[in-house]
Structure 1
Amino acid sequence: MDCLLGLDLGTTNIKVLAVTPDTWEIIAQSSIPLPTLSPQPGYMEQDPEVVWKGVEEALTEVSIHVRRKKHTINRVCVSGAMHSLLAVDKHGKPLMNALLWSDNRAEEKAAELHAQSASLGRGIYEHTGTPIHPMIPLCKLAWFKEQQPELLQQTAKFISLKEYVWWKMTGQYQVDYSIATATGLFDVKSRSWYQPALDFAGVKASQLSDLKETTYTVPYEPGEEIKIGLPAGVKLTIGASDGCLANLGAGCIGPGITTITIGTSGAVRRTVNEPLRDPHGRLFCYYLDERADGDSGAKKPYYVFGGPTNNGANVLQWVAEKLTQQETEDVVKQAERIALGADGLLFLPYLHGERAPLWDASARGAYLNVDYQHTRAHFIRAALEGVMFNLLSIEEMVTKQTGPAKEIYANGGFAKSDSWVQMMADIFGVPVRLNESNESTAMGAILLASDTESPLERLADEVLFGETFKPDAERHKAYQQVYKRWKEAVNLVE
């Protein structure tokens, strides 16, 4: 029996999921952790060879399990984390470690596009849908142009870690439209590299990969040095970015549905059919796919619109490890004993700078209204609420462009805590529906490749769900008052 593989190139793990397309049963999976290097403050890197070895190990492990169960791998589709940047020479040899999304060394170049070159920054956002921030390759390249111009001259290609893995597997420098939209260099409307952005970055289009649709597929041809356990002829589908595929894998395709993922960081996302823009440049709009509409037959594009936060479950981890020196499960139980609103205590959860809603890498967290009555449990409760309020502020920006949410599809590590999920339902005021599997990104890759013709709405119908948490009307009303005070403290732009 045939099976499909989703290869998820994450920042913290390489994951592979094998699924049978008739029952959607997971028959094998693997997860290989990846180390992150921080040679100095603000620098976040990964060794591309370590990433590739993780891919080899994960694919080989799953391939062995698939063969033992008498299945045959038909296709592999690739998901990749966004915003990484790697320079390679003409032989494909890395000239540096890959910079990750969390690398902030280009903070001054992002600030330049917000200030001295603000009109250029606005134009780049309008054309690309990528908010201006140190994380994006556009700003990183501009930093190299200024700080290490010799690197630009030595580099044959500037690519992401996903493109590096794809080159290892296919021998081709190719990038899908979805990863490309996250670079700040790609014009969504013309589907080509955007020259004003290239000029600011100091690179030529010839130094970037060839652009491809997310369903672009080639047969696998094993090389002598490539040991990934796949037989010759397996279809390799280039896939999309992790955030976009997470939306598909969560089943979030129709109107009125928001996906919220809270892992280490978090994201609020909607799937839309036009390239939307936030008037203040705070929300991303990344390309997912284009399919024939089921009714008219006309081409119908799919974009993922929303905002990412740097501060998700890592805030809970900080509270547990640094503030209380306790296990996270015990910390959450303490928060449950405190009334909503934490008796006036507010927390601004910006421990790692912030992307949406602030897009300020220098932002920092704070407790406000601290008084003598507040206990350790109050500080925990306020921290958990602060994460949710920040996500709600992003959701409010999204709904201004897309309309109110009727339901939230939620996934990520936070979903293991019933009380935190219920807090989300009460704060947002809509039902929160959990995905059965937390591997929504790899599942999204599998769904994308399982049928390259049907509308994504039909593919989303295959997604399985677990428990639904309904909001309490009285608690929601009370939270609205607390949220108003929190929002005033953050001083968010309307």
Structure 2
Amino acid sequence: MNCFVGVDVGTTNVKALAMPDDLSEILAHASAPVTTLNPEPGYAEQDPAEIWLAFVQVMAEVNRELTNAGHTITHVAFCTAMHSLLPMNADGTPLGNAILWSDNRAEAEANNLRTKQADLGKAIYKETGTPLHPMIPLCKLAWMREHDPRLLRRTAYFGSIKEYLWHKLTGEFEIDYSIATATGLFNESKRQWSKLAMDYAGVRPNQLSTPVPTTYQRPYKPRSEAAGTGLPAGVSLVIGASDGCLANLGAGAIKPGTATLTIGTSGAIRQTVRKPLRDAQVRLFCYFLDEGYYVVGGPTNNGGNVLEWVSEKLTQQDTETVLTEAATIPPGSDGLLFLPYLQGERAPLWDASVRGAYLHVDWQHTRAHFVRAALEGVLFNLLSINGLLTEHTGPARVIHANGGFAQSTFWVQMLADMAGIPVRLNASNESGSMGAILLTMKAAGIVKTLDEAAERVKFGDTFEPDLTRYKTYQQAFKQWEDGLKKL
């Protein structure tokens, strides 16, 4: 049986999922962890060699499972995290670690584009669709221009983690339009690098990869460094798109009125639109998925990491115990509120320096109250981002939920009760890998449009809102917003 493999390169794990071209079943699955390094406060990096080894490991495992079962890989497609920056030599050798989306070293450069050079910042946003924040390579390069100009000059190519992997497999420096639109350097309408952004960043056009469509393919020609993957010659490598865009596609959230809410380490809420969209106040991203498909929304720095903080540092309990404790407290946490800004914030504030807080702390509040309020705060924040999104796209009628939080029925039901609309889960929670496979179906000519591809998505449970809890949460959300205004 012929099959497709979707590879999801995230900041926590590298995962691979194999399915037949009719998507009837999961044929193989593998995962390997990767480590985030914090060499200085505010820094977040990863060793590209470790990412490559994780990729080789999962590909070899999936390939072995498929071969033993008599299946043949015909296509491998890539879903990768956005906003990474990796300096490389002309032969693709890294000149340091990859700087991740969560790295805040370029805070001053981002603030400069939002304040002192606001007109330039808005002009760049209009071209690129990328909000101005330390996360984006545009600001990271500007930081390098000020703090490490020698590295800026001697780097042959500045790329993402995907470009590094792609070069290891193909020998070519190429970048898909989706990852490119997340750099802050790409003119979305012209499908080329923005001179305005490059001039600000201090980078030359020949230091950036060649942009290509998300369905772009290259036949795999075995290279010595990729021998460990076990991939045979001739397998079609599909360059794919970003994790946020493919999470929408993999969740089947392509049509108007359907939002996707993802919570992994961080989080985001998004909708798919047919034309590029810009927010006058530069609060929402708009990333390319495919011709006629753009993913608009807002990301938060504070998602599953808040649960991790509550578990490891606040309560010193495992997450299952923490969630069980939180369920003993009524909706609204008896008035206790949490602003979840443990690691600065992207949307809705776009302020890397902001920090979290508990509000309305009372004698009656127990440890379980603090836990539930933290979980509610994460969702309140995402729903506040959804309010910005609704101004442009209209209200969502259903939310498709994915990411690690979707494994907690308690947290997903909380979302439905807060939003007041149904929340639907997918049959598989691997939305990034699934999105890569669905994109491959178009690249392979099996479907003509992504609408047709999304119709193949299979769903699991749907969580209906409890209207009594919804009213309670509406009141709590107003108080939460009042607290946010006081930050």
TM range (shorter): over 0.9
Query: Which amino acid counterpart does residue 204 of structure 1 have in structure 2?
Result: R
1:115-154 mapped onto 2 (5 Å cutoff): 115-154=115-154
Q: Which residue in 2 is equivalent to 1:41?
A: 41
SS at match of 1:358: coil
8 A Cα contact 2:270 2:295, kept in partner? yes
Does residue 212 in structure 1 map to residue 212 in structure 2?
A: yes
Q: Which residue in 1 is equivalent to 2:277?
A: 276
Once residues 417 and 97 of structure 1 are traced to their aligned partners in structure 2, the CA distance between those partners, rounded to angstroms, is 34
Does residue 486 in structure 1 map to residue 480 in structure 2?
A: yes
Choose the corresponding residue for 2:296, options 299, 305, 312.
Answer: 305
SS at match of 2:56: helix
State the 4+ residue runs in structure 1 displaced beyond 2 angstroms: none
Once residues 492 and 356 of structure 1 are traced to their aligned partners in structure 2, the CA distance between those partners, rounded to angstroms, is 17
SS at match of 2:79: strand
SS at match of 2:358: strand
CA drift at 1:215: 0.4
CA drift at 1:226: 2.1
SS at match of 1:438: coil
Choose the corresponding residue for 1:387, options 378, 381, 387.
Answer: 378
CA drift at 1:420: 1.2
Q: Deviations over 1:420-465 (max 9, x none)?
A: 1111001000000111111000010011011235111111111111
Unaligned 5+ runs, structure 1: 291-300
Query: Which amino acid counterpart does residue 40 of structure 2 have in structure 1?
Result: Q
Once residues 75 and 416 of structure 1 are traced to their aligned partners in structure 2, the CA distance between those partners, rounded to angstroms, is 29
CA pair 23-241 structure 1, distance change in 2 beyond 3 A = closer
TM superposition score normalised by structure 1: 0.96
SS at match of 1:226: helix
Choose the corresponding residue for 1:334, options 297, 301, 325.
Answer: 325
Q: Which residue in 1 is equivalent to 2:237?
A: 236
Once residues 34 and 428 of structure 2 are traced to their aligned partners in structure 1, the CA distance between those partners, rounded to angstroms, is 22
Once residues 35 and 422 of structure 1 are traced to their aligned partners in structure 2, the CA distance between those partners, rounded to angstroms, is 31
SS at match of 2:361: coil
1:313-332 mapped onto 2 (5 Å cutoff): 313-332=304-323
With 387-396 and 328-337 compared, the bigger mean Cα shift is at: 328-337
Query: Which amino acid counterpart does residue 484 of structure 1 have in structure 2?
Result: K
Q: Which residue in 2 is equivalent to 1:165?
A: 165
With 118-127 and 337-346 compared, the bigger mean Cα shift is at: 337-346
Q: Which residue in 2 is equivalent to 1:54?
A: 54
Q: Which residue in 2 is equivalent to 1:351?
A: 342
Once residues 122 and 378 of structure 2 are traced to their aligned partners in structure 1, the CA distance between those partners, rounded to angstroms, is 29
8 A Cα contact 2:284 2:347, kept in partner? yes
Q: Which residue in 2 is equivalent to 1:104?
A: 104
Q: Which residue in 2 is equivalent to 1:188?
A: 188
Once residues 371 and 409 of structure 1 are traced to their aligned partners in structure 2, the CA distance between those partners, rounded to angstroms, is 35
8 A Cα contact 2:268 2:299, kept in partner? yes
Does residue 92 in structure 1 map to residue 92 in structure 2?
A: yes
Choose the corresponding residue for 1:461, options 423, 447, 455.
Answer: 455
Q: Deviations over 1:258-291 (max 9, x none)?
A: 000111111101011111112211111000002x
CA pair 492-10 structure 1, distance change in 2 beyond 3 A = farther
Unaligned 5+ runs, structure 2: none
CA drift at 1:224: 2.6
Query: Which amino acid counterpart does residue 44 of structure 1 have in structure 2?
Result: A
Once residues 157 and 486 of structure 2 are traced to their aligned partners in structure 1, the CA distance between those partners, rounded to angstroms, is 39
CA drift at 1:23: 4.0
Q: Which residue in 1 is equivalent to 2:254?
A: 253
With 304-313 and 15-24 compared, the bigger mean Cα shift is at: 15-24
SS at match of 1:142: helix
Q: Deviations over 1:362-381 (max 9, x none)?
A: 11110111121111111112
With 78-87 and 20-29 compared, the bigger mean Cα shift is at: 20-29
Does residue 66 in structure 1 map to residue 66 in structure 2?
A: yes
Does residue 442 in structure 1 map to residue 443 in structure 2?
A: no
SS at match of 1:196: helix
Does residue 424 in structure 1 map to residue 418 in structure 2?
A: no
SS at match of 1:420: helix
Once residues 368 and 358 of structure 2 are traced to their aligned partners in structure 1, the CA distance between those partners, rounded to angstroms, is 13
Once residues 401 and 35 of structure 1 are traced to their aligned partners in structure 2, the CA distance between those partners, rounded to angstroms, is 37
Q: Which residue in 1 is equivalent to 2:267?
A: 266
Once residues 277 and 112 of structure 1 are traced to their aligned partners in structure 2, the CA distance between those partners, rounded to angstroms, is 20
Q: Deviations over 1:170-218 (max 9, x none)?
A: 1100000000000000011111111110001001111100010000111
Q: Deviations over 1:285-313 (max 9, x none)?
A: 000002xxxxxxxxxx1000001111112
Q: Deviations over 1:234-280 (max 9, x none)?
A: 11111101110111000000110000011111110101111111221
Once residues 23 and 447 of structure 1 are traced to their aligned partners in structure 2, the CA distance between those partners, rounded to angstroms, is 9
Q: Which residue in 2 is equivalent to 1:293?
A: none
TM superposition score normalised by structure 2: 0.97
Once residues 420 and 14 of structure 1 are traced to their aligned partners in structure 2, the CA distance between those partners, rounded to angstroms, is 25
Choose the corresponding residue for 2:358, options 367, 388, 395.
Answer: 367
CA RMSD of aligned residues (A): 1.2
With 238-247 and 16-25 compared, the bigger mean Cα shift is at: 16-25
Once residues 450 and 123 of structure 1 are traced to their aligned partners in structure 2, the CA distance between those partners, rounded to angstroms, is 36
Once residues 203 and 276 of structure 1 are traced to their aligned partners in structure 2, the CA distance between those partners, rounded to angstroms, is 27
Q: Which residue in 2 is equivalent to 1:296?
A: none
Once residues 5 and 303 of structure 2 are traced to their aligned partners in structure 1, the CA distance between those partners, rounded to angstroms, is 28
Q: Which residue in 1 is equivalent to 2:155?
A: 155
Size of the alignment, in residue pairs?
483
Q: Which residue in 2 is equivalent to 1:294?
A: none
CA drift at 1:337: 1.7
Query: Which amino acid counterpart does residue 417 of structure 1 have in structure 2?
Result: S
Q: Deviations over 1:100-130 (max 9, x none)?
A: 1111111110011011111011111111010
Once residues 151 and 102 of structure 1 are traced to their aligned partners in structure 2, the CA distance between those partners, rounded to angstroms, is 21
Query: Which amino acid counterpart does residue 349 of structure 1 have in structure 2?
Result: P
Query: Which amino acid counterpart does residue 417 of structure 2 have in structure 1?
Result: D
8 A Cα contact 2:215 2:442, kept in partner? no
Q: Which residue in 1 is equivalent to 2:400?
A: 409
Once residues 262 and 140 of structure 1 are traced to their aligned partners in structure 2, the CA distance between those partners, rounded to angstroms, is 25
CA drift at 1:492: 9.1
Q: Which residue in 1 is equivalent to 2:287?
A: 286
